[in-house]
Chains A and B, each alone.
Chain A
Amino acid sequence: MVREITMKKYILNSIVAATILFAASCKPEIETPAGTTAGNANFSKYIAVGNSLTSGFADGGLYLEGQQVAYPNLIAAKMATVGGGAFTSPFFTEAQSNGSGYLKLSALVNGSPTLTNVTDKLAYRDAAMHLAKYTGELQNLGIPGMRVDLAFAAPYGAANPYMERLLTDSQVGTVSYFQFIQGRNHTFFSLWLGNNDALGWATNGGVTTDATNVLTDKSTFALLYSNLVNALTAGGQKGVVGTIPDVTAIPYFNTVTVAALLNAAKAINPAAAAIYIQTSTGAPRIATAEDLIRLPFQSSGLFGVPNALGYPYGLDPRNPIANNWVLDKDEIVKVKDFVNSYNSSIKSLATSKGLAIADTYTYLNQVKAGIAIQGVNINSAFITGGAFSLDGVHLTPRGNAVIGNVFIDAINSTYVSTIPTIDISQYRGVKFPN
């Protein structure tokens, strides 16, 4: 009997011991090299040079939430594990967190979006729409609207409110972006600039009216871009450059399709047969699927409105959709040719300097077709695609995380570093009204 009690105790004790063992136990371990080395790069002071994408511009505006998830900020946070230092950005204050103001999705009516402007907590300091100044250390140097050509034009610093807010009074109009980014003692840089040298022209329907919508000359681009790269590598610094996406890969040009317009017209007048556009050359003609209409056209209130002679806008050769609303197929060929030229300049310069190349051109073309990453489907569809914000050009937080990883992958493969990747699931797409 004594033995039986001992045995029962033994069994009981064994079970208790086993339970304690596995409760405390042996979590599964997964070893990876991520986050262990900077390789042959030095991330202690990273600066990000670029345009609106670099600044965190989204939903048609620059505002705090967007700034905080700009791809350089996400990259910098991950660099911290491999020797990266602090990363400073010209954040708007909480009180002025809505910055320039931005678009929000306020309703979906039968699947059609209603976009409204956010107008509270803005950061304008005067009626001339100058933004509240930011002073202090800066590493995110992204300026919405910045172009390779205008980076060398000092007066642009006065005309661009996003640059003006970062300059002291004496610098405004006298310091170019090229000068502004220098002398910052960086050890590593990213350079994603040049998009607007093509996009400015494209988003104005292939019409040039001022310096912001010129299609930058190819050789000028190559020369100025090399000046930028030379300045940023003057101290032997390493870095990563981004290629310029195909402008037709963005929802801005793929949402208001000719077919959608025609269907809308037919719903009202079944006799509607074609959409007419004015191109930069020749007489008005019937639009085809190869002609891209700009996203803001859908809220312009122009479509179908009769002119003085009674011809409905866009539905009659005598009242075609104006040239500036349409990137017609010839203009598309032209802008693609320029983007390809810019990209070959960027790539050959980067290669000659041994820089990493984040090929966003190739990547966003894949996104256009639709990709599934980490359980999320992302494509370039407006609103539902998840990658592009409500302006149809700039990225959502999710899009920034995805692009951030394209940069990180490029950096890691070039410099044998192991910057951890960004968890894209932590970043949102478009916010839907509740």
Chain B
Amino acid sequence: MKKILLSVLLSVPLWVLGQGFQVNLQGQKQIGMAGAGSALPLDEASVFYNPGAVTFLEKNSISAGVNPLLFKSAFKQSGSNITEDVKNKIAPPFEFYAVWGPKSNKWKLGLGVYTPFGGLVDWGDNWSGKYALTSLNLKAIYFQPTLSIKITDRIGIGAGFVYNHGDVNLQRALPVNFPDGRSGHVTLDGTGTGYGWNAGLYIKTLSNISFAIVHKSKVITKLDGGSAEFDVPNSLRTSFPAGNTFNAELPLPSTTTLGVGIPLSKSTTLAFDASWVQWHIYQDLSFDYATNTSALADTKSARNYRDGSSFKLGVNHQASDKLALRAGIGYAFSPVQDGYVTPEAPDADRYILSAGVGYAPTSHFEVNASFFFEDVKSRKQKNLETGLDGTFKTLVYAPGLSLTYKW
């Protein structure tokens, strides 16, 4: 007599991106300096930080590094006395670089493979916000072939083409119950690709103070034919058909960075980077399901991100020929406005602290280590769409290590 409409069950959107998904771990030296260093031709990681500085690298080199990242987020519902923590899972941001050019020539080629965006958050299947999200595993791997050219002895430009391979696995509970009382569950899993570019200008003034302007373009990553798997009671199977797929778009924002490098002494250099992350492109998130039913409509949810920004100050001290010490501090402003904070990206303004050490046993070989810490401010929020109401607090720990061979 009366058709049951279940559309309400799925009217809640499925994911968002935040500053929390921007992973600022692309080179051990720069990480040790809080992520500053676009105006310093420190090493092959300049492929990412400033393609314009790559041509000023003295040697050809190849390097690989990893920064096991622990994203420790906690949530306490408003009025509750229970703090819930994400599970300890280690995300593996990594970076690989190669830089090559004929010695004393005006150009260099570079290749970077790195992970500028990602997220690994697992709140468990039975936490209090499970109907908003249970887990997210997002990886964006950028491949960036790059050309860097010296225009003068003091000015370099460079640009790279970016190909992104993105993986997303997002899960949440559905508020429909099986006969044993447990909740339904949805898993969205997809792979996508996107394209962009990264270009930079490096200027070293006569006073040896250096400047950088770098722009990394947005990368709209299209997920086509991802699997949408609904674990629901069989009586609801017609509403949530098996083998369904979805299309979605992942708008990874552009970033513009202005950098300054200041040599304080022969052995000590300061680096300052100000970055503007143009998150405003993330206005809404849409899911287009291949099969729609009365319960499963396509969704379009407002995100209304504003632009984010960060300010980072780092210092590199060459203690000896072989040993370098680094430290940095920074501060980042969240792009997530009040009412849009979610457990996928429990984002807020954050402090950054870092330290690093580099050691070069020979002129060909170098090992660099870093430790990166972010204190994301406590933020009490009620999400406008899901009603999830509580306080998030996040700490991020990422030690890192890279090996470099130079010739």
Instruction: Give the complex CA separation of A373 and B79 in angstroms.
Output: 13
Does B292 belong to the interface (CB within 8 Å)?
no
Task: Say whether B1 contacts A408, CB under 8 Å.
Answer: no
Q: How far is the CB of B363 from chain A (nearest CB, A)?
A: 14
State whether the Cβ of A379 lies closer than 8 Å to any Cβ in chain B: yes
In the complex, the number of residue pairs spanning A and B with C-beta atoms less than 8 Å apart equals 195
Q: Does B281 sit at the interface, judged by CB under 8 A?
A: no
- Contact between chains at B294 and A22 (CB < 8 Å): no
Contact: A28 with B393, CB < 8 Å? yes
Closest residue of chain A to B239 (Cβ to Cβ) is: A111
CB of A15 within 8 A of CB of B399, answer: yes
| Residue contact A423 to B128, C-beta cutoff 8 Å | yes
Q: List B residues 177-233 near A (Cβ within 8 Å).
A: 177-179, 181, 183, 232-233
Q: How far is the CA of A374 from the CA of B385 in the complex (A)?
A: 10
Chain B residues in 8 Å Cβ range of A376:
131, 175, 387
Contact, CB under 8 Å: B11 / A377: yes
Comparing A29-37, A89-97, A173-181, A337-345, the segment that makes contact with chain B is: A29-37
Q: In the complex the two chains form, is A430's CB within 8 Å of B177's CB?
A: yes
Task: Write the nearest CB–CB distance from A18 to chain B, whole angstroms.
Answer: 5
Total number of B residues with any Cβ neighbor in A under 8 Å: 69
* Contacts A11-B367, A371-B387; A108 near B236 (Cβ below 8 A): yes
Query: Is A4 touching B233 in the complex (CB atoms < 8 A)?
Result: no
Interchain CB contact (< 8 A) of A370 among B8, B77, B235? B8
Q: Judging by beta carbons under 8 Å apart, are B76 and A374 in contact?
A: no
**Which of B16-24, B47-55, B80-88, B309-317 participates in binding chain A?**
B80-88
A287 CB to nearest chain B CB (Å)? 15
- A243 interface hit (Cβ, 8 Å): no
In the bound complex, what is the Cα–Cα distance between A301 and B388 (angstroms)?
A: 43
A420 cross-chain contacts in B, Cβ below 8 A: 79-82
Looking across the interface, which residue of chain A has its beta carbon closest to that of B343? A375
Interface residues of A in 368-422 (CB under 8 A from B): 370-377, 379, 381-386, 398, 405, 408-409, 412, 418, 420-421
A434: which B residues are within 8 A, CB to CB? 178-179, 233-235
Are A377 and B80 CB-contacts (below 8 A) given A384-B6, A425-B128? Answer: no
Complex Cα distance, B287 from A415, in Å, reads 46
Are the C-beta atoms of B177 and A432 separated by less than 8 Å? yes
Q: Which of B29-37, B66-74, B153-161 contacts A (4 or more CB under 8 A)?
A: B66-74
In the complex, the answer to whether B4 meets A111 with C-beta atoms within 8 Å is yes
B277 at the interface (CB under 8 A from A): no
Alpha-carbon distance A379/B9, docked complex (angstroms): 11
Measured between beta carbons, the chain B residues less than 8 angstroms from A383 are 4
A374-B387, A433-B233 as given contacts; A28 in contact with B394, CB under 8 Å: yes
Q: Is the CB of B129 within 8 A of A375?
A: yes
B residues apposed to A, CB below 8 Å: 1-6, 8-9, 11-12, 70, 72-83, 85, 88, 126-133, 172-173, 175-179, 181, 183, 232-236, 294, 322-323, 357, 359, 361, 367, 369, 371, 378, 385-389, 391, 393-395, 397, 399, 401
- Which 6 interchain pairs have the tightest Cβ spacing? A35-B81, A375-B131, A421-B79, A372-B387, A375-B132, A432-B233
